[in-house]
Amino acid sequence: MLAIGPPGGYSSLGPAYAVRIRARPNHDPSPGTPMPLRALIFDVDGTLAETEELHRESFNRAFADAGLGWNWDRALYARLLDVTGGKERIAHYIGAHGAAPALDAAAIAKLHAAKTAHYTDAVAAGLLALRPGVARLLDEAEAARLPVAIATTTTPANVEALLRATLGERGPERFAVIGAGDCVPAKKPAPDIYHFVLARLGLRPEECIAIEDTENGLLSARAAGIPTVITVSLYGGTDRLDAALAVLDHLGDPGQPCHMLRGPSLHGTMLSLAQLREWVEKPNVAPDS
């Protein structure tokens, strides 16, 4: 369970998320008026950090602990990532690959919990770092008093572990809304998790930008109407990303420039909050490719 934030500052609304309470004005612009950027919404796995290889290793450790003869190599795991959600991925593997034994839902949940324990222990031990530009962009948003949020299918415990390990003990509190795990009926590529986050932010989709790394994430955000930036990742691939506002290798940092793979012109060597504002508030900016 995510129980984050100072007393009175957050409202704990269930087992999978927490929400910072903020008063929101009622935005009702005239038709055709460009929307100001009012929030950034981040995916987690592959977006905040390159987590998927550690997830894969944690699955395999849980399988070994349970005495299962299963091993997910990189090629197989890349295919399994088409299925979002760890429990759903295990169930798909059993059904599609004829893996034995055929576990029921309770056994799958237990196996997945063991995997999560391996993963969170590894994250707490410092085995992951934020991707280039993530901490910088979070700092820019915080300085501008622009809310940031999370929309992910991963387990809340995984999110909290990553945020605390990479941003400090109060890392989760930097996010106005955290939507994670099973808090919605359908996981990505369905738009449910983004609808969930938008409702709790009190914002229209066109007032936000989503930052994702996969086709499933892109489909989810765009189905919710949110302009989406892709930062390609180890397992995310670069195909079928035409609906993205921009596709980059990463967000960029001083001394570690990012590269635009597809999309509008980039000012400088890092994707800044000012650049994101321009893309949202001046939607007639033409893409280069």
Q: Tell me what pLDDT residue 181 has.
A: 87
Domains delineated in the chain: 10-22+36-51+129-281 (3.40.50.1000), 52-124 (1.10.150.240)
The whole-angstrom separation of Cα 186 and Cα 192 is: 6
pTM: 0.87
How much is the pLDDT for 29?
A: 54
3-state class (DSSP) for residue 262: strand
Q: Which 3 state secondary structure label does DSSP give 24?
A: coil
Does 45 participate in catalysis according to the annotation?
yes
H helix intervals, 125-191:
134-143, 156-167
Choosing from 43, 192, 213, 253, the catalytic residue is 43
pLDDT classification of 20: cutoffs 50, 70, 90: very low
The one catalytic residue among 28, 45, 182, 242: 45
pLDDT tens digits for range 25-51: 445 555 556 789 999 999 999 999 999
pLDDT at 37: 97
Catalytic: 65?
no
Q: What is the pLDDT of residues 125-139, one digit of tens each?
A: 999 999 999 999 999
pLDDT digits (tens, 9 = 90+) for 193-228: 999 999 999 999 999 999 999 999 999 999 999 999
User: Are the CB atoms for 213 and 84 separated by under 8 Å?
Assistant: no
Which of 185, 186, 234, 200 is closest to 214 using CA atoms?
A: 234
